[in-house]
Amino acid sequence: MLNNLLHNPAVLNIVKKFSSGEPKKNFVKYFIVLGAFNIFLCGFITQQSLYSKYNWKDGKDKEFDIKPGENFSEIVKDLKDKDIIPSAFVLKVIGKLTGKDEKIISRRYIFKNGMTNLDVLNIITDASLSQSIKFTVNEGLTIKQIGKYAEKYLGLSRNKFVEETKNDSLISLLGLKDSVKSLEGFLYPDTYDVPLDITEKGLVKILFNEFRKRVFNNAEIMDSINAKKMDFYEVMKMASIVEGETRKEDEKPRIAGVYYNRIRKNMKLEADPTVQYALPEFKKRLTYDDLHVKSPYNTYIIKGLPPGPINNPSISSIKAAINPEKHNYIFFVATGEGGHTFTENYADHLKAVDVYRKKMAEQKK
């Protein structure tokens, strides 16, 4: 539409008329016309920017989270990246002109197809809407890692969150041993809608109550544990190690079987995830020195399971710990393709390790 306006014969004729003849005589007239045209053009652009509807290709509603602490420029960029608005620049200008860039409310939004820039701006500054935000706890995260994300996305204190997981009144609800000092292993991984005014204690309660509902009060899981005369806390320790080793569902029972075999043979578990948990900061690739870090969680130096779970595992890992695959494997090593090679003796294990190292070397070339 703007392109048509700029190429309109009437507009071009005016410009041509006042740009011909003697420059000195026409300068004032030209300046007046140009100023009027600019005012008209700015008004036209503003109207189009405010009220033009933007239709998405798929036509579906879109969810959008504004996190505490995000500034207006970051939010607008994110809106553009998610194809919710056609122009980040326009919305920034409108926000500045209206003063609404300082009135953004953090929460989860649902945007409808065909909204205007003004619609979007009005919605993200409307305090009357119910305030909540999505918060995802991925499978296998530790309490410290959850606290880090709670700080980043919910504006909470990671240290206070960690302290709240040591709440004796919550721990006692598990009915476990007195040696249990925190809720590590008992915060359920899922995506939650949490209030924006959530506190550290409130978030811990939400995650813990979901665990109680989905695991502790799950008849199938608890009946299986009781029928096999297994210790629930020991199951959660094993489940967390399995979770730390793989995301492949079909491998989880096999890996659990390896560790149970090693326990029966009085072998150290030598599970890398326990070393990663023992270190001050998570490291994806461990060094030889890391394997000797002094910690009751380091299964390279202690026998049996660690004192507690090393992360918050998924249901599938818990079930794998309850129902391990029966086999004679006592070793496994990564294939370099997302899975693992399982072996029954050390000689075959070394061969598998050599294959893995060669593959890694080839990938680096």
Question: pTM of this prediction?
Answer: 0.72
Q: What is the CATH number of the domain that holds 88?
A: 3.30.1490.480
Residue 226 shares a structural domain with residue 316: yes
- Residue 336 counted as domain residue: no
Per-residue pLDDT of the chain (365 residues; tens, 9 = 90+): 444 444 555 445 545 554 555 555 555 555 555 555 555 445 545 555 555 667 777 778 888 888 777 889 999 999 989 888 888 888 888 888 888 888 888 777 888 888 888 888 888 888 776 567 889 999 999 999 999 999 988 889 999 999 999 999 889 988 887 778 899 999 999 999 898 789 999 999 999 999 999 999 999 999 999 999 999 999 999 999 999 999 999 999 999 999 999 999 999 999 999 999 999 988 888 999 999 999 999 999 999 999 999 999 999 999 999 999 999 999 999 998 889 999 999 999 999 999 999 988 888 77
- Residue 350 counted as domain residue: no
DSSP string, 272-319: HHHHHHHSSS--SS--TTGGG---TT-TTTS-SS-SS-SS---HHHHH
In this predicted structure, what is the pLDDT of residue 40?
A: 47
- Residue 230 counted as domain residue: yes
Residue 233 shares a structural domain with residue 313: yes
CA dihedral over 119, 121, 123, 128, signed as positive or negative = negative
CA dihedral 90, 95, 96, 97 (to 10 degrees): 90
- Residue 142 counted as domain residue: yes
d(CA 251, CA 231): 23
Domain interval for residue 189 = 132-216
d(CA 181, CA 349): 37
Residue 226 shares a structural domain with residue 295: yes
Which domain-ending residue is among 167, 190, 216? Answer: 216
Long-range CB contacts (within 8 A, 24+) of 102-107? 102/72, 104/66, 104/70, 104/72, 104/75, 105/66, 105/129, 105/131, 106/66, 106/67, 106/68, 106/69, 106/70, 106/131, 106/133, 106/155, 106/196, 107/65, 107/66, 107/131, 107/132, 107/133, 107/196
| Domains: count for the chain | 4
- Residue 345 counted as domain residue: no
